[in-house]
Amino acid sequence: MSIFLRSVLIIVLLALGAAEARCAGAEIALRQAARVAPDAPLTLGDIADLRGEEALAHAGVVLVTRARDAAARTGWYEVRLDEVREALEREGVNWGRLSLTGSTCIVRVSRPPEISETNAAPTTVTGRDRAKRTPVGVDLGDGATVRAYAQRALMRLYGVEASDLRVAFDPSDDALLDTRVWGRRIDVQPGGSSGSSRIMLNVWVYEGERIAASGVIRADVEVRRDVIVTTAALRRGDAIASEVLRQERLWMSPGGAAFITSLDDAAGAHARTRVGVGTALRTDHIETPIVVRRNELVTVHCVSGGIVIRTPARAQGDARVGDVIEFRIDRTRRPFLARVGGPGIAVMLADHEHQDDQTGDDR
């Protein structure tokens, strides 16, 4: 195959892969419950989880101009899936690129309460001066309390089992945490990401069509992780040898950059900053060495389904393993993007349903 035809085929495959990547996986999933301020507009981003560029582009679609007006009588408002669909159609949504799932979302219109638990209408009890406790191991008990539901929500959020999670709930939340849930429906929604050790959980307890209790629970979290610990001090720019590393299983705060969990990920890298003895390495402590230099001739593997094409192309910049940079085939003008896989190697996936292991067969 001539260089010209090969370059044309790569460009076509790249364009098809980019179009598929934009369309695949775009989804709007209606949440079971949400909360908005009284005077704020209710938008799609408030009540749904959005995945993919096509979905995120509609986050600002307004469903209700003023939340207080929609929930003037009850303090809450039910958003149905067909209402969301109609609002999106008014915006000219392309359903060929987007899926919509869910049923209804119960929207609570109020400032987030600290505790609210009665057998009648929900009330609000605040507590600004909150004492703190030391995180303790998870105890689900009989599983029939809000506390157990909250702990399970944290286990899902941080991706760990009960034995690898320690939680300290605020003492002023005990009344809501100890609420029994027999015959009731419980919804617990994290109010933050797994990258934080201080988390808020929005809790709703439903009895039929009535909200029996609700509130915001705060918790401090520790997670037991496999981490890589240094046995010697490192200066900025030092190459990290496996001899100065050991793997340990420690209780860590999940806040900050992600922890390095494999010796292979740290050995051979360079210290990005000064690192003390006994430090559990995070991703912002290290950087991988440059393996491809600008204008270096690299073999690019272009993968699309069952077709693999390998062609030489020149890197348009320096790169480390995992970096996506531009490449250009000699005697062509149009550059393309590929991910650097190692010294002299890059991979361009034009089909997200096929993985790197299909590059082994030369076609």
pLDDT in tens, 16-66: 454 444 444 578 888 877 777 666 677 887 788 877 777 777 777 888 776
Domain end (from 48, 83, 109)? 109
Predicted confidence (pLDDT) per residue in 184-222, tens digit: 888 999 887 767 778 889 999 888 878 888 899 999 999
In a domain, 9, yes or no: no
What is the tally of structural domains in the chain? 4
Q: Does residue 62 sit in the same domain as residue 87? A: yes
CATH number for the domain that contains residue 349: 2.30.30.760
Residue 120, both tokens? 């009648």
Q: Does residue 135 sit in the same domain as residue 214? A: yes
- What's the rounded Cα separation, in Å, for the pair 319 and 289? 9
In a domain, 127, yes or no: yes
Domain end (from 109, 141, 171)? 109
Q: Does residue 210 sit in the same domain as residue 142? A: yes
Residue 275 CA from chain centroid, whole number: 28
- What's the rounded Cα separation, in Å, for the pair 286 and 225? 19
In a domain, 100, yes or no: yes
Q: Does residue 133 sit in the same domain as residue 217? A: yes
Q: Does residue 54 sit in the same domain as residue 31? A: yes
In a domain, 133, yes or no: yes
Q: Would the pTM of this model clear 0.75, i.e. be above it?
A: no
pLDDT of residue 99: 84
Predicted confidence (pLDDT) per residue in 165-194, tens digit: 999 999 889 999 998 887 788 899 988 776
* Residues in Cβ contact with 164 at an 8 Å cutoff, skipping those fewer than 6 apart: 223, 224, 225
Q: Does residue 198 sit in the same domain as residue 230? A: no
CB 79 within 8 A of CB 36: no
Domain end (from 84, 109, 134)? 109
Domain that holds residue 311: 290-360
Predicted confidence (pLDDT) per residue in 73-129, tens digit: 556 778 888 888 888 888 878 777 788 888 888 777 654 433 344 333 343 434 443
